[in-house]
Amino acid sequence: MKIINNKFMQGVKKFKGAGISAGLKKSGKKDLAIIYSEEKAVVAGTFTTNRVKAACILLDIENMKNENSQAIIINSGHANACTGEQGLKDAKSINESVAKELKLSSKEVLQASTGVIGVAIPMDKMKNGIKKICSVISEEGGSDVSQAIMTTDTKTKEVTVEINIDNKNVRISGVAKGSGMIKPNMATMLSFIVTDANISKKMLQKVVKSSVENSYNMISVDGDTSTNDMSITMANGAAGNKLIDSENEEFKIFKEALDYVNVELAKKIARDGEGATKLIEVEVANAKDKETARKCAMSVVSSNLVKAALFGSDPNWGRIICAIGYSQGDFDINKVDLNFKSSLGEVSVFKKGKNINFDEKIASKIINNENVVLCINLNDGHFKATAWGCDLTYKYVEINGEYRT
């Protein structure tokens, strides 16, 4: 696998994009994006587990039952969630407008929205924006897409890789947004992956589901799950490789690359948590089963007490042990070891279920770093899991206290 760069859609064959300001945001920043495949593409996705779902989610679930799609229209600023029948009517009208401009069926158009819940999309601005954006779609539009989907994000989140399948160069590129309301089982996050790989819809859905489980579903910023979260992957086959329709060697190569893209985007989301100063990585090793490893990792990375301690570079290992204790994972505390690690070094702070003597000043220095790793060894099996999150800061409260103002 070759890492191309941190730019979206870079060199992915037959994909184009655009991002513009349609006047949906008061700030005047870019707020409308489109991703377009010149060829029909198979599509797979996962959506929020929140029982309250935005109109775009309900519409996408229905449209993705079709074999192919060609466009995704995305707006930031208006969630179009909890807007009743009018919200669903507006979502359908948006798809119809995009389809008309691009000469597609409305069922070939997918849609994403992000922003304030309960606020309807201003349809006059949206329809004018659709006309404008469909006229400026280009192969160089990926970076504009990444900017237009942002809300409280401070940085764009993009990555592109290249692999070789069947002697063909295949690219996979992803873009995401997410900064707050981030919790496992999808979060206030949008993720869009485009690839020119030739893969069946069945195999694409299989690999996407697995990849999301180990990436976006293993991050937590603040424990909230939103109404609009989704991850959509489009594959248009333009690379010309032999169709991947089984779990063969080519499927494994594709999966490894897709996993890399999704994990990188997930880490970028976690690091850009609202007000965050640190990326926290929790590695759980040697668990009795996969479920225990995942539960322990997510429990620690989701703990506000752990996150607050790491913001202050306080090596308070008790909060971490407490978090795995209520994780409902199956482990024996008398076997558990815990180390703190960063680029500044590594220190053992807890061993075989007991406190040990360690230099707190050294430990504090190690975790006073932009990237902190909490290494938890359960010493009870061979399963592992990794979760990502961020510290909890004063800035988080400020951002969310002023979100609608």
Do 89 and 128 have their domain in common?
yes
Pick from 180, 183, 76: which is nearest to 126 by CA? 76
Sequence-distant (≥ 6) Cβ neighbours of residue 402 within 8 angstroms: none
- 405 assigned binding-site residue: yes
- 151 assigned binding-site residue: yes
Residues of the chain scoring pLDDT < 70: 179-188, 221-226, 273-275, 399-400, 402-405
- pLDDT value at position 217? 86
For 105: left if phi > 0, alpha if psi spans -120 to 50, otherwise beta; the answer is: beta
- 14 assigned binding-site residue: no
Convert the pLDDT of each residue in 285-316 to its tens digit. Answer: 999 999 999 999 999 999 999 999 999 999 99
Task: Name the domain count of the chain.
Answer: 2
Q: Are 278 and 369 within 8 A, CB to CB? A: yes
Convert the pLDDT of each residue in 189-212 to its tens digit. Answer: 899 999 999 999 999 999 999 999
Do 88 and 192 have their domain in common?
yes
CA-derived radius of gyration, the chain: 22
Structure letter (DSSP) for residue 241: P
Question: Of 271, 301, 328, at which residue does a domain stop?
Answer: 271
Pick from 223, 230, 222, 227: which is nearest to 276 by CA? 222
C-alpha span between 207 and 168 (Å, rounded): 20
Q: Are 366 and 347 within 8 A, CB to CB? A: yes
C-alpha span between 16 and 39 (Å, rounded): 11
Do 336 and 196 have their domain in common?
no
Q: Are 173 and 194 within 8 A, CB to CB? A: yes
For 134: left if phi > 0, alpha if psi spans -120 to 50, otherwise beta; the answer is: alpha
Do 188 and 226 have their domain in common?
yes
CATH of residue 201: 3.60.70.12
Q: Which of 46, 114, 152, 188 is catalytic?
A: 188
Q: Are 182 and 228 within 8 A, CB to CB? A: no
Question: Of 247, 271, 295, at which residue does a domain stop?
Answer: 271
Q: Are 332 and 322 within 8 A, CB to CB? A: no
C-alpha span between 247 and 171 (Å, rounded): 19
Range of the domain at 149: 2-271
Q: How many CA atoms lie within 13 A of 60 on its CB side?
A: 26
**Residue 337, beta-bridge partner list:** 377
Question: Of 229, 248, 271, at which residue does a domain stop?
Answer: 271
Do 258 and 396 have their domain in common?
no
Do 331 and 370 have their domain in common?
yes
C-alpha span between 76 and 66 (Å, rounded): 26
Do 184 and 320 have their domain in common?
no
Do 267 and 285 have their domain in common?
no
- 400 assigned binding-site residue: yes
- pLDDT value at position 402? 67
Q: Are 391 and 279 within 8 A, CB to CB? A: no
Do 355 and 389 have their domain in common?
yes
Q: Are 237 and 39 within 8 A, CB to CB? A: yes
Do 285 and 265 have their domain in common?
no
- pLDDT value at position 180? 46
Do 162 and 53 have their domain in common?
yes
Do 337 and 365 have their domain in common?
yes
Judge whether 83 counts as a catalytic residue. Answer: no
Which amino acid is located at 39 in the chain?
E
- 225 assigned binding-site residue: no
CATH of residue 363: 3.10.20.340
Phi, psi (degrees; rounded to nearest 5) at 131 = -60, -45
- pLDDT value at position 222? 47
- pLDDT value at position 403? 56
Other C-beta atoms lying within 10 Å of the C-beta of residue 326: 10
Q: Are 337 and 330 within 8 A, CB to CB? A: no
